[in-house]
């Protein structure tokens, strides 16, 4: 497109507002926030009605490992944000590298968490008591979100292998937003999860 | 734009180019792959109308059973299924998809001066998911396994111990599925409203109908997850032996009610707010006067939606929760009166200030205001805790919410059908028959639902399949049933009028009622690209600004804001509506239908407890999403 045609089609070289994809993600995350709000509210609703939490005979939740893992997961917000900035400045190689670093850490976190989850399932079952039911549902919902984030990362890396477009930049922008949200939520979920043992 | 002959050669060339760029494939394939918001709106319209018919037949069967005491047209279990399906259908498969899906889809981009929704393929997906969820829920009826624990599906009745078939699983999975459709539709509307407004349409110049759709969409986004979580809990408990709702294992039966009504009360406003929006469209046109207190009405619409999130426990006044809690929710419930009253005054005073022409759409709005005031007054009565506790689970409640849900929500829908019929079909409806149909519907509604107040106060409980004679309820029940059939006759007359007018009505022209919003600034029916020139807006009633619209014709000749070089629509800044960029929009696609089919099969497999097969369909959904996003827009 020639330079003088710009004002007729778009008044500025760079739009002022966030892209539609970012807004779509923002609203989707609003819905997700209520979803987790309902899960967390259920946890405390059931807990405050219970005499023993966890019920007698159920081991207290592990504390140190989940907290350490969550702390590591939260740090991946940094490479995600840097990847977004690199992409906005058109630095493709840096974008891919930073995204790959984030993906590696997030995937390790996910693997270890699934290991812990299966370990818990071997010790107590969601069919035992309301405590186990909400424990596994809450933690499982969080892990599902991490898994979705991993899929988004992999998809972005695949798309970025053939270059950077505005569409892919918006995708990265939305995915970064998603990860910031999941990481923030991870803190609330893990604090709730370990709270009976504190 | 209807008067092509007065256009210059270059203008005609530009229109020809737009036609070629925006045209979709003809025939069935075109409908299956469409991303045109108008065609999706029409698909929604006819699908929801079919569900409205089903829900109506269910209501008539119930009223027939209740016409006389000790009757046995239906057995108790059949009655429970019909009653539950009536509620589920009218709320999830008729009113929401009709107002958001049909009216919203067709009208919002037109009123905003846009060429499509922000996410056209997502829009198609929300329709296919809606169709899939509706079919899944209705499959239960043909298998004689319809949900049967009431539309609010209270536990413990809905637990496996008391409801052993698949009935409740149809309900829970169907509503989770339906919720996905509504959520993606709502997100799409909010982004469209924020980003795709015509240049110059700052938020304070946005049509009030669009404000209502914005309020509803935000409510859906923030309310539906509570229902989804609730239904997931229910399925986990019924299928996999989790314990959320049984006290014996540390659960709580009231947990269901809290989560359900956290969704369920915003839901009431989700149902009724689009009706407010339709009223604020019809009144200025026929009163020939702009809405008075325009910003207050806009704020009131948003405020109703907001307060709706703080009142849910008023559905639970009789459950034994602490009095302090009750008082908080009673006070919050009374607050709803303020924004509602602002709107009622604004509607009536606008009519009084203008020169009202009482054509059928305005008559329906008159009916709406009447019923809304009556239903609103009985609503305030429920905010008084002792009164609520005395009348809970009686027909008084049924009377109240039918005045709101039928009188206040459906009447504007019916009026809106007449009002926008010329825009969608290009033909005028038959006015005298339309007026007759209004009076028949009005009379039928009053006769059906008003006596329910009295039998309720006389103690008749709701959700019973029959009753004894000699309790003083017989005459009221009979009149309710007669009313229901009169109402049906009125509805059939409306649809008969529209069908007849579709083929025999005189041509309407672009703007038969001299409406103020932008949908009247284009041809009837609008072209695929909606507007040959993206209109520039300088007031809340842009179609009454004749100079601005005359300017559009000049721009078409000069080629300004025509965007005939690609499949494009402009995007604006979120608050002020400054022209920001030009977006390449996606064209027709098979992916929404493909993904819709996979998601439907995923839910069918979950219902049948084939979890491995369900997982395979889940993976196919992910692959379909990959294929969907492999199609990127051309870089400008």
B405: closest CA among B59, B76, B43, B42?
B59
Q: Are A98 and A82 in contact (CB under 8 A)?
A: yes
Q: Do A17 and B249 touch (CB under 8 A)?
A: no
List of domains in chain A: 35-48+59-197 (1.20.120.80)
Task: Report chain A residues whose CB lies below 8 A from the CB of B250.
Answer: 46, 49-50, 55, 129-131
pLDDT at site A11: 72
By Cβ distance, the residue of A24, A45, A130 closest to B243 is A130
Indicate the SS3 state at residue A16.
coil
- CA-nearest of B191, B213, B193 to B203 is B193
Contact B633 A31 (CB under 8 A): no
Q: Which residues on chain A are in Cβ contact (under 8 Å) with B636?
A: 1, 9-10
| Contacts A–B by Cβ distance under 8 A | 138
Nearest alpha-carbon partner for B188 in B123, B91, B144: B123
Does the beta-carbon distance from A171 to B629 stay under 8 Å? yes
For A49, which of B252, B559, B622 is closest by C-beta distance?
A: B252
For chain B, the maximum distance between any two Cα atoms, rounded to a whole number of angstroms, is 80
The region, left, alpha or beta by phi > 0 then psi within -120 to 50, assigned to residue A156 is alpha
* B183: closest CA of chain A, how far (Å): 8
CB atoms within 10 A of CB A92: 15
d(CA B171, CA B30): 32
CA B463-B464-B468 angle, 5° bins: 150
Contacts of B191 in chain A (CB under 8 A): 20, 23-24, 27
pLDDT score for B165: 94
B571 phi, psi to nearest 5 deg: -115, 150
Other C-beta atoms closer than 10 Å to the C-beta of B309 total: 18
Question: Shortest CA distance to B66 belongs to which of B467, B539, B519?
Answer: B467
pLDDT value at B390 more than 70: yes
Closest to B126 (Cα-Cα) out of B89, B54, B180 = B180
CB-CB under 8 Å, B258 with A10: no
Distance (Å, whole) CA B58 – CA B136? 18
Q: Which of A1, A34, A55 sits opposite B250 (nearest CB)?
A: A55
pLDDT at residue B143 above 80? Answer: yes
Q: Tell me which chain A residue has its CA closest to the CA of residue B555.
A: A8
Closest CA to B159 of B228, B233, B108, B103: B233
Report H helices in B293-430: 294-307, 323-335, 337-353, 360-383, 385-391, 395-402, 411-425
Q: What pLDDT is stored for residue B631 in this prediction?
A: 84
Q: Residue A142's closest CA among A105, A182, A88?
A: A182
Q: Is the pLDDT of residue A198 over 90?
A: no
For residue A13, pLDDT over 80 is answered with no
C-beta atoms of A20 and B571 within 8 A: yes
**More confidently predicted of A118 and B9:** A118
Q: Is the pLDDT of residue A84 over 60?
A: yes
pLDDT tens per residue, range B209-240: 999 999 999 999 999 999 999 999 999 999 99
- Model pLDDT, residue A15: 87
**Given an 8 Å threshold on Cβ–Cβ distance, is B580 in contact with A16?**
yes
């Amino acid at each position: 497109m020639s330079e003088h045609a710009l004002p007729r089609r778009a008044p500025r070289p760079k739009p002022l507002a966030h892209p539609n994809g970012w807004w779509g993600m923002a609203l989707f995350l609003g819905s997700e926030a209520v979803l987790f709000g309902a899960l967390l509210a259920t946890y405390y609703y059931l807990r405050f009605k219970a005499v023993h939490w966890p019920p007698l005979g159920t081991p207290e939740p592990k504390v140190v490992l989940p907290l350490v893992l969550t702390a590591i997961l939260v740090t991946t917000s940094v490479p995600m944000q840097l990847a977004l900035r690199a992409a906005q400045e058109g630095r493709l190689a840096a974008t891919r590298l930073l995204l790959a670093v984030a993906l590696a850490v997030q995937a390790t976190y996910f693997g270890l968490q699934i290991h812990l989850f299966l370990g818990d399932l071997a010790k107590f079952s969601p069919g035992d008591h309301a405590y186990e039911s909400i424990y596994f549902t809450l933690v499982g919902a969080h892990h599902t979100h991490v898994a979705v984030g991993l899929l988004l990362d992999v998809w972005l890396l695949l798309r970025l292998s053939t270059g950077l477009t505005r569409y892919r930049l918006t995708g990265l922008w939305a995915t970064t937003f998603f990860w910031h949200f999941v990481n923030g939520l991870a803190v609330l979920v893990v604090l709730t999860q370990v709270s009976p043992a504190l | 734009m209807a008067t092509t002959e007065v256009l210059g050669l270059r203008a005609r060339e530009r229109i020809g180019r737009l036609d070629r760029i925006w045209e979709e494939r003809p025939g069935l394939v075109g409908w299956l792959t469409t991303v045109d918001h108008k065609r999706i709106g029409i698909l929604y319209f006819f699908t929801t109308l079919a569900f409205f018919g089903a829900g109506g037949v269910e209501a008539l069967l119930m009223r027939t059973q209740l016409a006389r005491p000790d009757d046995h047209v239906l057995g108790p279990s059949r009655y429970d299924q019909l009653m539950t399906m009536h509620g589920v259908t009218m709320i999830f498969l008729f009113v929401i998809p009709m107002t958001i899906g049909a009216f919203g889809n067709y009208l919002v981009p037109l009123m905003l001066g846009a060429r499509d929704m922000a996410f056209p393929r997502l829009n198609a997906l929300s329709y296919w998911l809606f169709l899939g969820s509706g079919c899944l829920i209705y499959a239960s009826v043909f298998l004689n396994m319809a949900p049967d624990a009431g539309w609010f599906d209270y536990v413990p009745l809905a637990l496996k111990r008391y409801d052993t078939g698949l009935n409740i699983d149809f309900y829970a999975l169907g509503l989770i599925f339906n919720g996905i459709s509504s959520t993606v539709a709502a997100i799409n509307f909010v982004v469209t409203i924020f980003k795709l407004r015509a240049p110059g349409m700052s938020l304070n110049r946005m049509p009030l109908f669009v404000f209502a759709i914005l309020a509803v969409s935000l409510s859906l986004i923030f309310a539906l997850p509570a229902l989804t979580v609730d239904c997931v809990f229910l399925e986990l408990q019924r299928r996999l032996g989790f314990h959320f709702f049984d006290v014996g294992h540390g659960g709580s039966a009231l947990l269901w009610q809290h989560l359900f009504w956290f969704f369920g009360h915003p839901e009431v406003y989700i149902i009724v707010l689009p009706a407010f929006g339709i009223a604020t469209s019809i009144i200025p046109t026929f009163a020939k006067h702009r809405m008075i207190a325009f910003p207050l009405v806009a704020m009131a619409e948003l405020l109703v939606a907001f307060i709706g999130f703080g009142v849910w426990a008023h559905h639970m006044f009789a459950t034994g929760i602490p009095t302090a809690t009750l008082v908080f929710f009673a006070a919050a419930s009374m607050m709803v009166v303020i924004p509602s009253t602002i709107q009622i005054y604004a509607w009536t005073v606008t009519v009084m200030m203008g020169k009202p022409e009482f054509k059928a759409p305005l008559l329906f709005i008159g009916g709406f205001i009447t019923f809304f005031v009556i239903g609103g007054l009985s609503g305030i009565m429920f905010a008084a805790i002792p009164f609520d506790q005395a009348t809970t689970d009686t027909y008084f409640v049924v009377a109240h919410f039918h005045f709101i849900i039928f009188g206040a929500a459906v009447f504007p829908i019916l009026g809106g059908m007449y009002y926008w019929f010329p825009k969608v079909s290009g033909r005028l409806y038959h006015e005298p028959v339309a007026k007759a149909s209004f009076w028949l519907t009005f009379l039928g509604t009053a006769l059906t639902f008003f006596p329910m107040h009295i039998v309720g106060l006389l103690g008749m409980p709701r959700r019973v399949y029959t009753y004894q004679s000699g309790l003083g309820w017989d005459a009221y029940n009979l009149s309710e049933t007669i009313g229901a059939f009169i109402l049906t006759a009125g509805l059939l007359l409306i649809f008969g009028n529209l069908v007849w007018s579709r083929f025999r009505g005189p041509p309407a022209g672009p703007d038969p009622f001299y409406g103020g919003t932008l949908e009247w600034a284009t041809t009837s029916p609008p072209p695929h690209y909606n507007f040959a020139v993206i209109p520039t807006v300088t007031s809340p009633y842009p179609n009454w600004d004749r100079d601005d619209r005359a300017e559009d014709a000049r721009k078409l000749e000069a080629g300004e804001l025509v965007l005939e070089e690609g499949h494009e629509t402009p995007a604006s800044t979120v608050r002020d509506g400054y022209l920001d960029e030009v977006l390449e929009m996606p064209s027709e696609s098979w992916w929404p239908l493909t993904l819709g089919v996979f998601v439907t099969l995923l839910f069918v497999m979950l219902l049948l407890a084939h979890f491995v097969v369900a997982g395979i369909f889940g993976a196919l959904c992910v692959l379909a999403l990959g294929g969907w996003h492999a199609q990127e827009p051309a870089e400008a």
